[in-house]
């Protein structure tokens, strides 16, 4: 198995952005936009389907459920691997909606897998997937 520290560093930027819950134009432009491929796909956790394309992912975080739920995620396991210029970071995490219920929802176990391409010279997310345990 081949790993790459820059792949893990890129994953950590996503993780920190998500848990920082500072979903603003400025944070998007400075942190996340450069890390996403224009054609990125992000799986919806609570609904069927995907957010498709960088603009749809931005809308989710800045104006949609990302902004309204202000969820928190705690990674339990993290398995990185690089195969022919494609990077994968997969594992399990606890996911909790912080604002949709009072008190916040109970933590739920999710499986996740982030796929990155280095075709541009830097790791960019091309596919972001997650699913609640018990529904996999």
Best CA proximity match to 115, nearest among 38, 45, 42, 55: 42
Q: What is the CATH number of the domain that holds 36?
A: 3.10.450.50
16-38 pLDDT per residue, tens: 999 898 999 999 999 999 999 99
Domain count, the chain: 1
35-82 pLDDT per residue, tens: 999 999 999 887 789 999 999 999 999 998 888 877 889 999 999 999
Domain containing residue 104: 5-132
């Amino acid at each position: 198995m081949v790993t790459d520290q820059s792949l893990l560093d890129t994953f950590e930027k996503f993780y920190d952005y998500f848990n920082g819950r500072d979903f603003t134009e400025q944070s998007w432009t400075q942190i996340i936009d450069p890390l996403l491929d224009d054609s990125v796909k992000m799986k919806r956790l609570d609904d069927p389907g995907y957010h498709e394309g960088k603009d749809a992912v931005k809308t989710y975080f800045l104006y949609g459920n990302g902004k309204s739920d202000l969820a928190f995620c705690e990674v339990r396991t993290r398995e990185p691997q690089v195969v022919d210029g494609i990077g994968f970071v997969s594992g399990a995490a606890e996911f909790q909606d912080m604002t949709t219920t009072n008190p916040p929802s109970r933590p739920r176990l999710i499986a996740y897998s982030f796929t990155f391409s280095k075709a541009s010279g830097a790791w960019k997310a091309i596919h972001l997937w997650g699913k609640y345990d018990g529904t996999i």
